[in-house]
Chain A
Amino acid sequence: MKPLENLVVLEFCQFMAGPSAGLRLADLGARVIKIERPGKGESGRQISIKNLFSGDDGIVFHTINRNKESYAADLKSPEDLKRIKKLIEQADVMTHNFRPGVMEKIGLDYETVKAINPRIVYGVVTGYGNKGPWASKPGQDLLLQSLSGLSYLSGDKNDAPTPFGLAVADMLCGAHFVQGILAALIRRGKTKAGALVEVSLLESIIDFQFEVITTYLNDGGKLPDRAMRGNGHAYLSAPYGVYKTKDRYLALAMEDLDTLGETLGCYELLEYKGSDSWFVYRDDIMRKLGLFLKERTTAEWLAILEPADIWCADILNYEEFLNHAGYKALQMEQETVTATGDRIRTTRCPIRIDGERLFSPKPAPMVGQHVKDIERDFNLSAGYGNAS
């Protein structure tokens, strides 16, 4: 039995952070119903990367919204709103990422919803929280990376600020959203009462930096200093980083420089006495090591380093990685088939429960695809308004 079986989640969220949380809850066993405006549906349907679509919806939408159902409703229509409220009465969780004030106007704010269903866990995602000068700023991933100091941690010393090349604020915020919702459901199991769960992209991207921000807060406020070349982490000593070899690249993690120098036969490294100097002279050490590593191929270095238990790895691109036996052994892939018969190969949930991988063949829904099923299962059309 999947852990969240029989739980019903109503997802009013759009784009990435909220829907990625809905996907996780779905894969863990919940029934997730997207509430979308009729016709166009959620705005994330129009987002395309590399101009790739399946039907009218971007591949990104299909990736984030598989394993969900769709119910179309115009929240400004009193009839539709009545049905939605009846659905809310029977739901365990609802989530939205509207800007502050929007749900109040519609009449589905937490206080109203709690009166309809005191057991509901009500989740809200915002960009920057609901107060302060950024409260109405667009909650877009790259902007959050830029405002939060994150872009000064990757890349090399002389590079411009270098963002993470994925929507990291969205993904982390979605993960925190799931955590908050699940924690509230655990409490509800004991107290029978629901909860309001709020997360924001800004708080999530700050939390992500908690180790280095804590360092910054306690080292007298020194700003991060990236390594000159091959930077892997602004706060870690040599050799941590990436190096060019004769034919490819090589990653080296934390390592005792004496051991590394002896193992490689790179005796220059032995001149740096004491681990403090491995941070202080990081650029010199990495430069010398870099020149040394260029002399042989990655495979040759790995053959020397791996048997000596030195933390190192080849650097792979997608083609090499996704065809590697190490990746294949994970069985990370699955295929969903859309309502129009289009096959979409994607990844699965990364969590295993009771020794089982969590697969789900259910594709992303078309707008309103499940209206009939949902009206039947939740008894929405039968005499609503005066029924018990």
Chain B
Amino acid sequence: MLMIKPLEDILVVDFSQFLSGPSASLRLADLGARVIKVEKPETGDICRQLYVSNLIMNGDSSVFHAINRNKESFVADLKSEIGRNEVWELVKQADVVMHNFRPGVMERLGFDYEAVKLVNPEVVYGEISGYGDEGPWRDKPGQDLLVQSLSGLTGLSGNGDKGPVPMGIAIVDILTGAHLAQGIMACLVRKGISNVGGLVQVSMMESIVDFQFEVITTYFRDGGEPTVRSLKNNAHAYLGAPYGIYRTSNGYMAIAMASIPQLGELLNCPALLEYQEVASWFNERDQIKSILAKHLLGGTTEQWLAILEPADVWCSDVLTWEKLMQHEGFKVLDMIHEVTMGDGYRYRTTRCPIKIDGEYLLSKKGAPKLGEHTAAIIEEMLVKHTLGK
């Protein structure tokens, strides 16, 4: 028997654009929900045109294809009466409604939580803002790099001799989307028990603060000392040596937490034996890392791993995607799958990372063309509507 996907029969009406909201609805879709993207006429979700590396796939950007597979597209002009009426029919039948407009926009459009709740009291309504709905940042654009920059995050990566180093993926968007999905599903659990809906609100700024909870708590605890990255080989500003990535004679290798004298013995690097005090591994990490970095240049990654791995030191090679995808450790996961769009266009992308009852959550459905499902959904809604009467 086929697995019943956990969110089967749940209808999500998603007004969101770009990455944060749509990444949440992708997760809900992969977990079994039916997700209908409500898009504006002509351009649709702005992400369709957000080309990266100048790549266009079947008319839309590659990132749009990654984020919006397994969804349907419904085009409606929210400023026209016909469009609004159609969307109201959708919203009435939805289990989940979500958006990521700036504060105030949904109220103007008329589909805010209070209005939706009137026609659909059990709805779970999710919204994402950049910075919450109060304070001086309220109307600032909720954009990933800006939130990284304001939140102190850029002081954590890269070496101490560099300026701010952003994390090179939209970490804020992705975490915010993950938190929205959590909040929505928590409310769906509650709805199953007590038949009440709920309002779920997340903001990009709160999500990126949460991501830094360990180090911000440390910052409070240490009396607010400045965040200092190690001069070289930094991988975590708050961890001691050897934690970092090191160059070898033929590539790179990573070493996580390890005892410095033990490393000295295993690698035959006597200078490291002097650091017997655990506290020195943090306090003198720049010296230790520089000794270690010089020493590791004298051998290949494979040579060093062959010594350290059997001794249970936490270490690894540093791979590019090309090397990763050739590796058996990656291949066994079947992380890459092919999806097909309504017009037959096929592309490869990754699957949902969660396994349920021993099975991967797979879907063959590619991203929708703008408005691809509008007509079918209208017909379906009208039928339901008529039958409902």
Contact = CB atoms under 8 A, between A and B. Distances in A.
10 contacts: A51-B279, A51-B282, A137-B316, A146-B317, A163-B244, A183-B32, A199-B355, A316-B150, A347-B216, A351-B180
A185 B131 CA distance: 30
B1 interface: no
A273 interface: no
A104 B348 CA distance: 37
Interface stretch (B79-87, B262-270, B329-337): B329-337
Interface stretch (B50-58, B70-78, B376-384): B50-58
A208 B317 contact: no
Contacts of B194: 1
A14 interface: no
Interface string A161-192: 11111111001110110111011111101110
B108 interface: no
Contact of A209 (B134, B145, B169, B329): B169
Interface residues of B, number: 150
Interface string A349-369: 111111100000000000000
B297 interface: no
- Name the residue among A164, A172, A214, A312 with the largest chain B CB count within 10 angstroms: A214
| Chain A interface mostly | mixed
B190 A168 contact: no
B356 A132 contact: no
Contacts, number: 485
B132 A329 contact: yes
A329 B134 contact: yes
Contact of A154 (B163, B167, B278, B318): B167
Interface residues of A, number: 149
Contact of B156 (A148, A166, A354): A166
A240 interface: yes
Nearest to A63: B217
B163 A249 contact: yes
B217 A4 contact: no
Interface of A: 1, 3-7, 24, 28-29, 49-52, 59-60, 62-64, 128-129, 131-134, 137-138, 140-143, 145-156, 159-168, 171-173, 175-176, 178-180, 182-187, 189-191, 195-200, 202-204, 206-219, 221-224, 226, 230-236, 240-242, 244, 249, 251-254, 275-276, 279-280, 309, 311-322, 324-330, 332, 344-347, 349-355
Contacts of B35: none
A252 B353 CA distance: 32
Contacts of B171: 164, 168, 208
